[in-house]
Amino acid sequence: MMKKVAVLTSGGDAPGMNAVIRAVVRTALHYGFEAYGVHNGYKGLVENDIVKMDRNDVGQILNRGGTILGSSRLPEFKQKEVRQIAVDNLNKLGIDALVVIGGDGTYRGGMDLNKMGINVIAIPGTIDNDIASTEYTIGFFTALDTAIDAIDKLRDTSFSHRRCTVVEVMGRDCGDLSIYSGIACGAEIVVTKETGFNKDQVIKKVQAAEQMGKRHVIIVVAENITDVSKLAAEIDKKTNYTSRATVLGYIQRGGTPSSFDRILASKMGVRAIELLRQNKGGLAIYTNSMEIGECEISEALKAKDEITDLYSYLPKLN
């Protein structure tokens, strides 16, 4: 019997989700499976909003932000009776394999569905980079580039006006977007859940920067830590910098995916189908490859004879 595979995106959208959808659909078709798209995440599974997808349905989306399938959050999916409706809908269509793309909430839903007899593969798609199993999630680096671009612009105006800029970056409970953008933008101070927040210490650091003769100060604050407008107002009062707050917000979730996210998404989408082809389920795909190391310079100068495994992905994605 022909295998039928469905794909959905759930939770906060992330750049690169479309690239995964494309890779999943095209690879499924490459192996002779039928491919289905579920609209609006788990909500679409429950509402039976599931459509058959052809290779052309995923044309022109590799470079597009957002998700063509739509996304949503469905807290009710924690209830077994609600999940049972989803399973029944999949069974009616003869779909026994599902690729879910999203963050931790998506993973939990996928794990529960897997226990109910659907082979589920989870792919990390979230700007937050908060999935423990993977070094990077799809969308993280694109969101990081967006944050960097915005903070660079804030730096220009902060310098001109001799200001302290407090900028709030997304990430839910994970400080990765903040610390990575802080390093990439040369922020003086980064405040995240991991660093902890002590208002007096932050103000002392701003005063120290002033003593050092810095013309401007950039403070990156992860969301859900403190009210950045109030923090800026207090810095304004207690230092000689005028201070302003900027919340980057949802612009971090949109935009065309970066090169890294497109390739990661394509590779992960292909892997998901290859696992389902072996009837494997209940698995989360990860990447773990950006280590820094060192070797003899002579070693570094040897001819590069290894061919990247990316060549094997190309036929499945077309």
x/- binding map, residues 73-102, to ligand F6P, per CB under 6 A?
x-----------------------------
Q: State the Cα–Cα distance between residues 100 and 106, nearest whole angstrom.
A: 7
Interaction of residue 103 with ligand F6P, rule CB under 6 A: yes
Q: State the Cα–Cα distance between residues 121 and 133, nearest whole angstrom.
A: 14
Considering only 21-29, 126-134, 191-199, 287-295, which stretch makes contact with ligand F6P by CB under 6 A? 126-134
SS3 221: strand
SS3 219: strand
- Residue 128 annotated in active site: yes
Residue written as token pair 């993977």 = 134
Q: Which of 9, 89, 106, 126 binds ligand F6P (CB under 6 A)?
A: 126
Q: Which of 123, 127, 219, 272 binds ligand F6P (CB under 6 A)?
A: 127
In the complex with ligand F6P, which residue's Cβ is closer, 96 or 176? 176
Q: State the Cα–Cα distance between residues 46 and 44, nearest whole angstrom.
A: 5
Considering only 84-92, 121-129, 228-236, 288-296, which stretch makes contact with ligand F6P by CB under 6 A? 121-129
Residue 112 CB, nearest distance to ligand F6P (Å)? 20
Instruction: Give the closest residue to 168 by CA, choosing from 235, 226, 217, 241.
Output: 226
Q: Which of 253, 262, 267, 316 binds ligand F6P (CB under 6 A)?
A: 253
Considering only 27-35, 56-64, 164-172, 179-187, which stretch makes contact with ligand F6P by CB under 6 A? 164-172
For 53-74, b/e burial (b = at least 16 CB within 10 A) is: beeebbeebbebbbbbbbbeeb
Is there a contact between 193 and 179 (Cβ–Cβ < 8 Å)?
Answer: no
- Residues engaged in binding ligand F6P (CB under 6 A): 12, 73, 103, 126-128, 170-172, 223, 253
Catalytic residue annotation: 128
